[in-house]
Amino acid sequence: MESLEDICAVLGESRYVVLARELTKTWESIHGAPIGELVAWVKEDENRRKGEMVLIVEGFKAQEEALPAAALRTLALLQAELPLKKAAALAAEIHGVKKNALYKYALEQQGE
């Protein structure tokens, strides 16, 4: 129970976790849910806290960072005078963002 509560505290209540109990045995059970719900589910029944358990925790999903408006404006101004690759590199250096993110954004804008 402590492990589940620690996971909830560190990773947040929305991280998906699977609790597999008594694998290959008569009372085998597998239950998956966001960790906040899983903690409540385990607390509902004393038997859910007994036996050998395996926890499978969903990995981290990187969220796409939004590009700053100032970086996009700089990119647009530089693009008017320079090739896209050079404009993206300069805008990235000026604003401290990833060059590839700016370059990809500019390509998407050209495609629209």
Mean pLDDT on 67-89: 94
Residues 6+ apart with CB under 8 A from 11: 35, 57
Q: What predicted TM-score, i.e. pTM, was given to this entire model?
A: 0.56
Helix (H, G, I), strand (E, B) or coil at 21: strand
pLDDT at position 64, please? 62
Statement: residue 62 has pLDDT above 80: no
Statement: residue 63 has pLDDT above 70: no
Statement: residue 77 has pLDDT above 70: yes
